[in-house]
Amino acid sequence: MEISFYDFQNLHNEEFRKEIKEIIGEIIDNNAFAEGEYNHKFEKDFAKMQGANYCALVGNGTDAIEISLEVLGIGHGDKVGVPGITFYATIEAILNRGATPVYIDINPEDGLICPESTKRMVEAHDLKAIIPVHIYGLPAPIAELEAVCNPKGVKIIEDSAQAQGTFLPSGPVGSTNNMSTFSFYPTKNLAAFGDAGAVLVPSEELYKKIKTIGNHGRGDDAMYGRNSRCDHIQAAVLYKKLEKIEEYNKSRKEVATLYHQNLEGSKVKTLPTKYLQTSSWHLYPVQCESAEVRESLANLLSEKGVSTTPFYAEALSEMTPFKGHEGEDEKAKAFAGRTLCLPISAFTTKEQIEYICNIIKSV
């Protein structure tokens, strides 16, 4: 059985392709390429869906983080806390602002940022901000982080690139008073046909600043900016996909539940069951005994036609461009080396899950 890591064929089925081609045709006919009605429709509806006051579309998820740091006045000479398990973009945005990253360790149970490590790093390094990551789609402990950061005036920017469909105890990701950044890269749960991103913000002032910066700084409150617009076609794709995203995210949770049930008694460790209904399940990671076991299992699954990915094979502090920064990272390094992500989508079947799990349980 051949099982790909991503299932674009079912996601972009014949019905969807027909409908989106008609919409793109309208955009071409109207010559509204850089921005148009779908940008405004998506911003309004996505903000409502996520329980946010405002949504500002930008060019990509990395820009979303970087511009968020910018509007909060964070840059050269400032220290920003970043968890040891995340994608390049989180730390890349900090460095692009001229700020200094400080590593915050993770909870070995789930890979999420650790509040206790956060407290130590805030006190030891006088952090100006932290960027907790809802890694794999799991809800980061935002309330605990706010208890640490808010009294000291430390800003929180939630990296929600993998978390559309994730729920905190207080509501959907994006519904806090923090800025929340999203990526709509084609592999995400809610995905464009290319690069696109967004920032959910609590105030109109921040919304206007983000939009101004992303449009070369032009506008009534002119400032230094950049080109970070979400083009009209990408906005239209995202707006169209909003129709079924809640249905698809519900299916992902059902797939994750089946994985949990079928992997019971196997040698791999699954994430805590408390996340089955709160995670977006952008990825489905399991933990192996060691990096060697992970590699061996990945090779066995590949031989059987199953595509997997080791998100993330290394902690940030182990990656060549990001070595040498201060902070805590021991638990992050151990976690990263043992993680393997299995195929998951809204269309993963029970038969596919059982096939994959039987292979895993055979070792």
| All domains of the chain in start order, with CATH | 8-240 (3.40.640.10), 245-361 (3.90.1150.10)
- Residue 54 and residue 52: Cα distance in Å, rounded? 6
Instruction: Give me the sign of the Cα torsion angle 109, 115, 116, 118.
Output: positive
Backbone angles phi, psi at 146, to 5 degrees: -65, -35
Q: Give the pLDDT band (50/70/90) at residue 222.
A: confident
- Residue 26 and residue 203: Cα distance in Å, rounded? 33
What is the pLDDT at residue 269?
A: 98
pTM exceeding 0.95: yes
Condensed to tens digits (0 to 9), the pLDDT of residues 280-290 reads: 999 999 999 99
Catalytic residues: 188
- Residue 261 and residue 238: Cα distance in Å, rounded? 33
Where are the extended beta strands (E) located within 84-178?
A: 100-104, 129-130, 155-159, 167-168, 171-172
Amino acid at the residue 251: S
Condensed to tens digits (0 to 9), the pLDDT of residues 97-123 reads: 999 999 999 999 999 999 999 999 999
Q: Is the CB of residue 149 less than 8 Å from the CB of residue 123? A: no
Q: Give the pLDDT band (50/70/90) at residue 301.
A: very high
Q: Is the CB of residue 161 less than 8 Å from the CB of residue 179? A: no
